[in-house]
């Protein structure tokens, strides 16, 4: 089978390539899935470069222990382990596989059955690959952790990424006023998508403009909790879903302290993969949520598109087409 594999750390064009690999075997509690579409995520960008360095502690100091990339897929069940009763050959599936394994940048992957859920027939394979990780980061961040309510004033830092574009749509279900923070060249598309206000982070620091919000969803986390506190109303909530490791640590430590001694709350989301995909699927069928897709591109374009992802040049989710 064809797969994008990683031999060493570095820039995608130098270390990532399309190779021929053995088709994976499967155990009695696993599915063998033919991958149709997959998506690029922060995990892939960090693993390829081996940065931040904490990744090397987990995945290999001098070179990656595993060649496999990719953590989202949509596809078709090719084979079913003898212990599995909930899936059959030919079933269409999708999901975020990160809790069970990586390797969706390939034509086939074997996974425990609980790593995937049935794909709604009305959902395209491309949309299904774009939704699991980003949509649940947005949903769990805004709803489970952030406690979003009707009419809130919401800010999304990283407005044009996979999470930001879904988070906007979720916030609009709650009739919120939504401000996005991103690059100027994305503004036209983001206004068309439904943002009420946009801030160019290269020209303006939103934590210093005096505007306050009920809820901040931060995909970038590159400032201290003291800065974010200025942008929160009384009883406001700041939710980080990722960012620079030093600021994540300060949010965890200092933010929790600020939460104890103020009426503002600072949280870091711990994602629960696939748990609310039925809710996302229902919203998709009601046309309340639809992923913004960059692509799809052939799997061979992976190194180029991963570099574009790292440069922040994409809008929404970059989708790679793996099979027919």
8 Å CB contact between 23 and 41: no
Q: What is the pLDDT of residue 127?
A: 98
Q: CATH code for 135-268?
A: 3.40.50.720
pLDDT digits (tens, 9 = 90+) for 232-287: 999 999 999 988 788 778 888 887 887 777 899 999 999 999 999 999 999 999 99
8 Å CB contact between 111 and 30: yes
> Nearest to residue 274, comparing CAs of 73, 50, 17, 81?
73
pLDDT digits (tens, 9 = 90+) for 220-232: 999 999 999 999 9
8 Å CB contact between 44 and 129: no
Instruction: Return d(Cα 139, Cα 136) in angstroms, integer.
Output: 5
- SS3 at position 218: strand
Q: What is the pLDDT of residue 324?
A: 58
Q: How far is CA 114 from the centre of its chain?
A: 19
Domain with CATH 3.40.50.720 in the chain: 135-268
The residue ranges of the chain whose pLDDT is under 50 are: none
> Nearest to residue 146, comparing CAs of 264, 254, 41?
264
Q: What is the pLDDT of residue 109?
A: 97
8 Å CB contact between 97 and 34: no
Owner of token pair 């696939």: 274
Beta carbons within 10 angstroms of residue 126's beta carbon: 20
Taking CA atoms, 174 is separated from 15, 87, 181, 218, 283, in Å, by 44, 35, 20, 18, 13
Q: What is the pTM of this model?
A: 0.94
Q: What is the pLDDT of residue 261?
A: 73
Instruction: Return d(Cα 90, Cα 80) in angstroms, integer.
Output: 10
Q: What is the pLDDT of residue 243?
A: 82
Instruction: Return d(Cα 12, Cα 303) in angstroms, integer.
Output: 5
8 Å CB contact between 16 and 303: yes
8 Å CB contact between 95 and 116: yes
Instruction: Return d(Cα 165, Cα 320) in angstroms, integer.
Output: 19
Domain with CATH 3.90.180.10 in the chain: 2-131+291-321
Q: What is the pLDDT of residue 31?
A: 97
Q: Which CATH number fits domain 2-131+291-321: 3.10.580.10, 3.30.565.10, 3.10.105.10, 3.90.180.10?
A: 3.90.180.10
| Angle in degrees, CA 58, 21, 94, rounded to 5 | 70
């Amino acid at each position: 089978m064809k797969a994008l594999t990683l031999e060493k750390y570095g820039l995608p064009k130098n270390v990532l390539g399309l190779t021929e690999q053995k088709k994976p075997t499967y155990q009695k509690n696993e599915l063998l899935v033919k991958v149709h579409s997959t998506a690029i995520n922060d995990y892939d960008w960090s693993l390829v470069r081996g940065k931040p360095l904490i990744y090397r502690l987990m995945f290999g100091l001098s070179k990656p222990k595993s060649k496999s990339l990719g953590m989202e897929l949509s596809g078709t069940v090719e084979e079913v382990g003898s212990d599995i009763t909930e899936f059959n050959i030919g079933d269409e599936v999708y999901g975020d596989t990160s809790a069970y394994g990586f390797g969706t940048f390939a034509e086939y992957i074997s996974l425990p059955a609980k790593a995937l859920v049935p794909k709604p027939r009305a959902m395209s394979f491309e949309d299904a690959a774009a939704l699991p990780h980003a949509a649940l980061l947005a949903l769990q961040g805004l709803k489970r952790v952030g406690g979003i309510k009707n009419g809130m004033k919401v800010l999304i830092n990283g407005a044009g990424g996979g999470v930001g574009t879904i988070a906007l749509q979720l916030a609009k279900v709650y009739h919120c006023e939504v401000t996005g923070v991103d690059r100027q060249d994305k503004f036209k598309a983001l206004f068309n998508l439904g943002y009420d206000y946009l801030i160019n982070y290269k020209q303006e620091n939103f934590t210093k403009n005096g505007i306050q919000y009920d809820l901040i969803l931060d995909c970038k986390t590159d400032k201290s909790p003291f800065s974010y506190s200025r942008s929160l109303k009384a009883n406001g909530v700041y939710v980080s879903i990722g960012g620079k490791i030093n600021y994540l640590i300060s949010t965890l430590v200092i933010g929790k302290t600020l939460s104890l001694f103020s009426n503002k709350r600072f949280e870091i989301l711990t994602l629960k993969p696939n748990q609310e995909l039925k809710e996302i699927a229902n919203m998709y069928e009601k046309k309340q949520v639809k992923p913004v897709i960059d692509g799809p591109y052939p799997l061979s374009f992976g190194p180029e598109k991963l570099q574009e992802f790292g440069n922040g040049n994409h809008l929404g989710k970059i989708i790679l087409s793996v099979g027919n």
